[in-house]
Amino acid sequence: MQTFVQNYGYWALLLLSIGESACVPIPSEVTFAFAGALCTTAVTGHVQFSLWAVILIGTLGSIIGSQIAYEVGRSAGRTVVDRWGKWILLSHKDLDTSERWFAKYGAATVLIGRILPVVRSVISVPAGIAEMKRGPFAVLTAIGSAVWVALLSALGYAAGKNWHRVSKDFHTVQTPTIAVIAVLIVVSVGLRVRSMRRYNAS
């Protein structure tokens, strides 16, 4: 990913941010922290990016990707559950619960969700399924995304002179972190399967 960003510059940042916000598993933490470091001379010996441009492009890409996921959820959410609900572990009860939640707390959920790892990548789909109004959704997504991208980019910029050490430390903890996440996913899926079986049996 770092090579892709270095070779394709701002276009790479735009594509990665669109994909990440459209539910593609791309770690924005790595993308924009690295982009922030490239705003210094520490990584390549020259300044490749402008910090403000990184934040602007990252926010724009996040808005585009989020809108794609939102429209998919809005137009196809219930159809997908009708056809493949048992395979993707979702029921109409889940959709009804999501709609009630977004009716009460939609604005706060989108705004806060956009600055939470993992959650920020998928929050647009339930917002679309719940048919949250497009205007507020877009505005809140833009605000939350700008905060998130700015934070990561600023951290990368601040770590610029020590980027190689920071990158090495990151790779050291990457494997155990992935292992913990994998275990949590397996446990969550197992619990979800049990819940779906009870729902289908009722």
Does some domain include residue 10? yes
pTM over 0.95: no
Q: Are the C-beta atoms of residues 31 and 1 closer than 8 Å to each other?
A: yes
Does some domain include residue 198? no
Does some domain include residue 171? no
Residue 165 has pLDDT above 80, yes or no: no
pLDDT tens per residue, range 57-111 = 999 999 999 999 999 888 877 776 666 555 555 666 667 777 777 778 888 888 8
Does some domain include residue 168? no
Domain span holding position 12: 2-163
- Of the listed ranges 2-6, 80-84, 114-118, 120-124, the least confidently predicted one is 80-84
Classify residue 39 as exposed, middle or buried by CB count within 10 Å of its CB (0-12, 13-18, 19+): buried
d(CA 147, CA 153): 10
Question: Please, what is the average pLDDT of the chain?
Answer: 81
pLDDT of res. 202: 60
pLDDT of res. 185: 63
d(CA 90, CA 107): 23
Q: Minimal CA–CA distance to 40: which of 54, 32, 50? A: 50
Question: How many folded domains does the chain comprise?
Answer: 1
pLDDT of res. 199: 56
pLDDT of res. 192: 57
Does some domain include residue 89? yes
Does some domain include residue 80? yes
pLDDT tens per residue, range 71-86 = 988 887 777 666 655 5
Does some domain include residue 99? yes
Mean pLDDT for the stretch of residues 119-137: 86
Does some domain include residue 190? no
Q: Are the C-beta atoms of residues 171 and 144 closer than 8 Å to each other?
A: no
pLDDT of res. 25: 80
Q: Minimal CA–CA distance to 121: which of 79, 170, 85, 70? A: 70
pLDDT tens per residue, range 8-30 = 899 999 999 999 998 888 888 88
